[in-house]
Amino acid sequence: MSDSGNLPCLTCGACCKSYRVSFYWTEGLERGLPDGLTEQLTPHLSCMRGTNASRPYCIALGKGDAGPMACGVYAQRPQACREVEIGDEKCTRARGLHGLPAIPVPA
Ligand code: SF4
Ligand code: SF4
């Protein structure tokens, strides 16, 4: 999910229900992600709970106040989430998986 100032994300969330969101386990500690929102994948890797599934759906999706699909841990979200930008390849693929059109990259 891109910046919350980007309104399309607040009613979309497609990338948060398309990919496994994994990270080196210390990133969760460093960012202050609550343990209950993460899952251990391997001795060194964790992921956002709900994203290591055949139909991923991050546990934090829709838990924020900024919109219906706002991230509930926006300030603490892992780097993998921060790297998805509106209109990029991951965004476009995720939206396509959920029947949504691609968004043109903002000028
Ligand atoms: S798929 Fe794109 S528009 Fe939707 S939440 Fe992710 S970055 Fe935002
Ligand atoms: S932590 Fe937030 S931005 Fe990252 S996948 Fe979950 S809902 Fe989306």
Point out the ligand 2 atom lying closest to the alpha carbon of residue 37: 1
- Which ligand has its closest atom nearest to the C-alpha of 10? 1
Centroid of ligand 2 to alpha carbon of 65 (angstroms)? 14
Asked if residue 49 has pLDDT above 60, the reply is yes
Q: Where are the domains of the chain?
A: 9-97
Asked if residue 65 has pLDDT above 60, the reply is yes
Measure the CA angle with vertex 83, ends 30 and 69; round to 5°: 90
> 2 — phi, psi (to 5°)?
-80, -170
What is the model's pLDDT at position 105?
79
pTM of the model: 0.94
- Which ligand has its closest atom nearest to the C-alpha of 76? 2
